[in-house]
């Protein structure tokens, strides 16, 4: 019986793909791509010739039913996004839901995603965390941030370079200037960089260093106060707070 494969693709370094993913992309009947031009570059790198169909956020509502019917008719399909795992801040949810509702088998391969490397290298607690993806650009953005003001888990956000400074400013309004943050950009690429420190310190860094590339912002959760601290003793966030940002060796060029 034919199935839908969810295939993660590299977030930067094209070698970050599993052997299983390569085999699936080679063997399916067609590949659904967020941007066929981007996927064509990856497939050429892997030496794969494959039929590509466009599947992105602007056409997925109109095409999911047809795609599901094609798979149900006996044709295996692989869904990829431009980078990372489909469905994680990328198209994929609607097609997966439709296939599940239609009784079509869905098989998801493990693989690349930006949020996990950024979380691990932040140095923040990662036993419990919440992934917020991209915040609403306008309507509901402030309200959504306010709902996270007392969140104790580590929080992970995606953001474009054009809104990073504004985003950090809004974080300060909600979480306070001393809250620890780790900002990673261009993960797995030549100019990968992680800047760590308080929100105030990291904001100042990106006010003086133009943000470039893809960004993942990891914010330390609100620290719990112990009874002895309720009297007013300062509660530090697991060693983070007033330390200077850690600027990596490479600058974006």
List of domains in the chain: 3-108 (3.40.1010.10), 115-231 (3.30.950.10)
* pLDDT bucket at 234, cuts 50 / 70 / 90: very low
Q: What are phi and psi of 174, to 5 degrees?
A: -95, -45
Q: What is the pLDDT of residue 252?
A: 39
- DSSP category for residue 7: -
The whole-angstrom separation of Cα 249 and Cα 237 is: 26
Q: What is the pLDDT of residue 138?
A: 84
Q: What is the pLDDT of residue 225?
A: 64
The whole-angstrom separation of Cα 53 and Cα 67 is: 10
Residue 157, SS3 per DSSP:
strand
**Residue 164 in this model has a pLDDT that exceeds 90:** yes
Mean pLDDT taken over the chain: 90
Report the predicted TM-score, pTM, of the whole model to 2 decimal places. 0.84
Q: What is the pLDDT of residue 226?
A: 53
The whole-angstrom separation of Cα 215 and Cα 38 is: 19
* pLDDT bucket at 107, cuts 50 / 70 / 90: very high
- DSSP category for residue 183: E
Residue 252, SS3 per DSSP:
coil
**Residue 44 in this model has a pLDDT that exceeds 90:** yes
Q: What is the pLDDT of residue 240?
A: 43
The whole-angstrom separation of Cα 51 and Cα 124 is: 43
């Amino acid at each position: 019986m034919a199935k839908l494969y969810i295939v993660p693709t590299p977030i930067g370094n094209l070698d970050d793909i599993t052997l299983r993913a390569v085999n699936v992309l080679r063997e399916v009947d067609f590949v659904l791509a967020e941007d066929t031009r981007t996927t064509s570059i990856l497939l050429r790198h892997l030496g794969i010739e494959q039929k590509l169909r466009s599947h992105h956020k602007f056409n997925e509502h109109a095409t999911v039913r047809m795609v599901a019917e094609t798979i149900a008719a006996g044709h295996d399909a692989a869904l990829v996004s431009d980078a990372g795992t489909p469905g994680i801040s990328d198209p994929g949810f609607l097609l997966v839901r439709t296939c599940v509702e239609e009784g079509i088998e869905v098989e998801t391969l493990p693989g690349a995603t930006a949020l996990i490397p950024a979380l691990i290298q932040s140095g923040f607690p990662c036993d419990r965390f919440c992934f917020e993806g991209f915040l609403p650009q306008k309507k509901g953005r402030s309200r959504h941030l306010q709902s996270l003001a007392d969140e104790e888990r580590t929080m992970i956000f995606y953001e474009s370079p054009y809104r990073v400074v504004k985003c950090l400013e809004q974080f300060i309004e909600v979480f306070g200037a001393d809250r620890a943050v780790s900002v990673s950009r261009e993960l797995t690429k030549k100019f990968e960089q992680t800047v760590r420190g308080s929100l105030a310190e990291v904001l100042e860094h990106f006010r003086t260093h133009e943000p470039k590339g893809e960004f993942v912002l990891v914010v330390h959760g609100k620290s719990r106060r112990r009874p002895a601290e309720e009297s007013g003793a300062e509660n530090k966030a697991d060693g983070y707070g007033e330390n200077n940002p850690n600027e990596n060796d490479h600058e974006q060029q």
